[in-house]
Amino acid sequence: MFETNHSDHQTGWSSTRYQRVLAITYFILLAVWSAGIAFNGAPDESTHFFLLEYLKTFHSLPGATEPAQAFTGTISGYTWQHGEFWYHGLPFPHVLGALATSYGLGWMLPGELGYLAARCFNWILGAVFICALFRIAHRAGMPKKAAALAALVIALIPQVSFVFSYFNSDAFGLMSVALLISALLGFLKAPSKLAALYLGGAIGLMFLAKLYLLPALVFVVVMLVAHHLWGGKSLRRHLPTMVIVAAIVSVPMLLVTLMKYGEISGISGQIDFVALHKNNPAAGFGTCYIGCSGHLFNMENVLPWLSLTLTSYFSTTGWMSIFLPSTYYMGAALLFILLVTAAIIQTARLYSRDKKRIFLLNYLLPLVMMLGLFPSITLLSLVASQNSLPQPQGRYLFVTIPFLALLIAFATMSHARAKNSASSARDVRSSRFHLKWLIVVAAWMAWTNMVAWNENTLSSKNIQKSAIGKTVTEAVLASGAGRSSNTDTLSATQLTERLAVTNGEFFIKTPFGQSAAAGTIDEVRKTSDGWLLRGWSVPPASEGSPEYVVAVEGGKVVGAIRIEIKRPDVASALSDKTALRSGYEGIIPAALPPDKCDLKLYTVTSTFKIFTMPDVCEFISRLSH
């Protein structure tokens, strides 16, 4: 792993140039991703943003009980209500970085898009991340061109691009893990004071990351100890440098966090979060996975959990609600299986009795530890879900993503032992074969990334409020979208026919339309006030514009939601500009339990006609299970 098994041509790009191109390209890609995500259109962005907004407004750290009253941020315009949850008790380097970029770049953006300036810090982290991936692959023995492709393959995983495109702490953690592995390889390959300084700095950054990313530190410690004891390298003299630099990087913020919140792990915030949601039936608190009903694993619960965990490791955007077609997940699973198989085979072929110690230290030990990360972290995450909230999130496996660069290097390394003309020729052919495969995989990943971006950007929440969505909406409005005025309202003749007087009161007949309204229910969620419904509805063009969604339960009207949200994605999909104002979102009171659902939805148009809508009870029934 730490020995060069290739010969780069002297001509061509330097490592610095490859990294510069990768960084700029990925920065632009992340900016495009971010422009398609509305503020808080991704998991927990507002909970991270609260600390940023508070620091910028009051120039001090908030207490754990804040906000004590409603607080509106100057960057995002978002309002946090009294007692609203946010992440306290955690180190906050990503917040300080975002504070710097919001000051430095905020003046360039319109006020309503100020959150993009804060997100820009994560785009910078993404650029650092892809450069670290390149160095990992190159230091592990891959040629520069192949290392660049390997870095692209990993960085183009849709979930990775998604994480770096909005404001969160996982982006900082991912970048830190990549820097840590890169610095470790550089140090083990050529131990020096400068390499120890880099490694110490990377270790310091890791102490500021979330707890579930710390297994990377275990990998580093084991590798350092193993190489010191059995690798014939005296690494002890560099230990003080590592410790001092790691302390300089991490201790100040850890002390500030500890003194202010009494902890540095964020555990109390997680406990508060669980307590906040444990009484919500939809949260699934108390779901049993291990040791249930006399079985070691309750597969009825484990399999759906595992499925969502693995899909969210590859691509689950939005609020873990936007998925790719299943063929993409099958393709990713096949590629991962091939990668692991190739890495194991190539490693086994390197075994030599003459160099047994080198084989164990440089190849077998790191491979076993890398592959062991996946089942061990999955099992720990499963136990955590059983004891708190069943959140099957691939983010707990994010620590493994930078290690994929090492796996790719293992899978593509040369296994020739004797260096002669014949073995050199085989190495060249092998390198070309691996390069072609990397090009094919990188192309597929680029396509997958684009498909995921499209699905996420065109989702109803993002297309309404994101930077791209607002531009599209304004363009559609500027093109003169709108229904013909002669079909939007009742004519005098129609009004005369449908208006009646009974006991001195006027009544208007609202007949059913002959067909159902086109539309879908995008989201159904249980709240304390009833069912939150979100979707769109488009009646026939000749029957007027959609005005209300009316809910009927037990033969009585129990609520209504105004249809007033602009949906350019619907207008585009239907090739009908008049379908722009077709979205709705609101809460309908619920009197009956989910298993006795009798709720029916209807669309009321401007011409007072009623059109049936999709069966909402079908969605409610799914939630209850």
For 548-565, the DSSP string reads EEEEEETTEEEEEEEEEE
* Residue 4 pLDDT exceeds 70: no
Task: Give the pLDDT score at 223.
Answer: 96
- 575: Cβ contacts below 8 Å, ≥ 6 apart: none
274 by Cβ neighbours in 10 Å (0-12 / 13-18 / 19+) ranks as middle
598 assigned to some structural domain: yes
For residue 506, which phi and psi values (nearest 5 degrees)? Answer: -85, 140
In whole angstroms, how far apart are CA 272 and each of 85, 186, 263, 276, 388? 8, 41, 14, 6, 11
Task: Give the pLDDT score at 419.
Answer: 59
CB atoms within 10 A of CB 489: 15
Q: Under a CB-based contact definition with an 8 Å cutoff, are residues 209 and 129 in contact?
A: no
Give residue 63's pLDDT band: very low, low, confident or very high (50, 70, 90): very high
| CA–CA distance, 191 with 207 (Å, rounded to integer) | 22
Q: Under a CB-based contact definition with an 8 Å cutoff, are residues 585 and 599 in contact?
A: no
Percent residues over pLDDT 70 in the chain = 87
475 assigned to some structural domain: no
Give residue 300's pLDDT band: very low, low, confident or very high (50, 70, 90): confident
Distance of CA 587 to the CA centre of its chain: 27
Give residue 279's pLDDT band: very low, low, confident or very high (50, 70, 90): low
- Please check whether residues 432 and 530 belong to one and the same domain: no
472 assigned to some structural domain: no
For residue 151, which phi and psi values (nearest 5 degrees)? Answer: -65, -40
pLDDT tens digits, 235-247: 889 999 999 999 9
State in Å, rounded, how far the first CA of the chain is from the last one.
49
- Structure-block tokens of residue 523: 């989201």
Task: Give the pLDDT score at 292.
Answer: 80
pLDDT tens digits, 609-618: 888 888 888 8
| CA–CA distance, 45 with 52 (Å, rounded to integer) | 11
Give residue 24's pLDDT band: very low, low, confident or very high (50, 70, 90): very high
- 269: Cβ contacts below 8 Å, ≥ 6 apart: 64, 85, 86, 87, 88, 89, 90
- Structure-block tokens of residue 288: 């049993």
Handedness of CA 487, 489, 493, 496 (dihedral sign): positive
Task: Give the pLDDT score at 428.
Answer: 80
- Please check whether residues 199 and 344 belong to one and the same domain: yes
b (16+ CB within 10 A) / e for 571-604? bbebebbbbbbbbbbbebebeeebeebebbbbbb
Q: Quickly tell me which residue has 């969605």 as its tokens.
A: 619
* Residue 485 pLDDT exceeds 50: no
184-188's contacts with Cβ under 8 Å and 24+ in sequence apart are: 184/220, 184/223, 184/224, 185/1, 185/2, 185/135, 185/136, 185/139, 185/140, 186/135, 186/139, 187/238, 188/2, 188/223, 188/224, 188/227, 188/231, 188/233
As a whole number, the mean pLDDT across the chain is 86
Can you tell me the mean pLDDT for 352-373? 90
Rg of the Cα trace of the chain? 28
- Please check whether residues 185 and 248 belong to one and the same domain: yes
Task: Give the pLDDT score at 555.
Answer: 83
Residue-level length of the chain:
625
More confident residue, 214 or 267: 214
- Structure-block tokens of residue 336: 């991962």
Domain that holds residue 552: 486-624
- Please check whether residues 185 and 285 belong to one and the same domain: yes
Task: Give the pLDDT score at 309.
Answer: 86
Task: Give the pLDDT score at 466.
Answer: 87
CB atoms within 10 A of CB 115: 30
- Please check whether residues 452 and 515 belong to one and the same domain: no
- Please check whether residues 456 and 494 belong to one and the same domain: no
Can you tell me the mean pLDDT for 360-369? 94
- Please check whether residues 447 and 495 belong to one and the same domain: no
- Please check whether residues 512 and 568 belong to one and the same domain: yes
For residue 533, which phi and psi values (nearest 5 degrees)? Answer: -115, 135
- Please check whether residues 424 and 533 belong to one and the same domain: no
Lowest mean pLDDT among 95-99, 137-141, 254-258, 595-599: 595-599
435 assigned to some structural domain: yes
Q: Which residue spans within 24-86 are E strands per DSSP?
A: 71-72, 79-80
- Please check whether residues 493 and 459 belong to one and the same domain: no
pLDDT tens digits, 99-137: 999 999 999 998 889 999 999 999 999 999 999 999 999
Task: Give the pLDDT score at 298.
Answer: 80
pLDDT tens digits, 556-587: 888 899 998 888 778 877 878 788 888 898 88
6 assigned to some structural domain: no
- Please check whether residues 402 and 459 belong to one and the same domain: yes
7 assigned to some structural domain: no
* Residue 383 pLDDT exceeds 70: yes
b (16+ CB within 10 A) / e for 456-477? bbbbbbbbbbbbbbbebbeebe
Percent residues over pLDDT 90 in the chain = 50
Please give the full DSSP string across 504-563, using - where no structure is assigned: TEEEE--PBPSSPPEEEEEEEEEETTEEEEEEEEE--GGG--EEEEEEEETTEEEEEEEE
Cis before 67 (ω within 30): yes
Can you tell me the mean pLDDT for 416-435? 73
DSSP-assigned beta bridge partners for residue 295: 292
* Residue 389 pLDDT exceeds 60: no
Q: Under a CB-based contact definition with an 8 Å cutoff, are residues 50 and 179 in contact?
A: no
| Whether this model's pTM surpasses 0.85 | no
Domains contained in the chain, number: 2
10 assigned to some structural domain: no
Q: CA 46, 51, 53 angle in degrees (round to 5)?
A: 80
Give residue 502's pLDDT band: very low, low, confident or very high (50, 70, 90): confident
- Please check whether residues 267 and 314 belong to one and the same domain: yes
**Which among 183-197, 300-314, 581-595 has the top mean pLDDT?**
183-197
Q: Under a CB-based contact definition with an 8 Å cutoff, are residues 160 and 445 in contact?
A: no
The DSSP secondary-structure symbol of 322 reads: E
In whole angstroms, how far apart are CA 462 and each of 42, 114, 465, 566, 571? 9, 16, 5, 11, 15
1 assigned to some structural domain: no
Lowest mean pLDDT among 94-98, 525-529, 584-588: 525-529
Amino acid type, 477: L
Task: Give the pLDDT score at 564.
Answer: 86
Give residue 484's pLDDT band: very low, low, confident or very high (50, 70, 90): very low
pLDDT tens digits, 505-514: 766 777 776 6
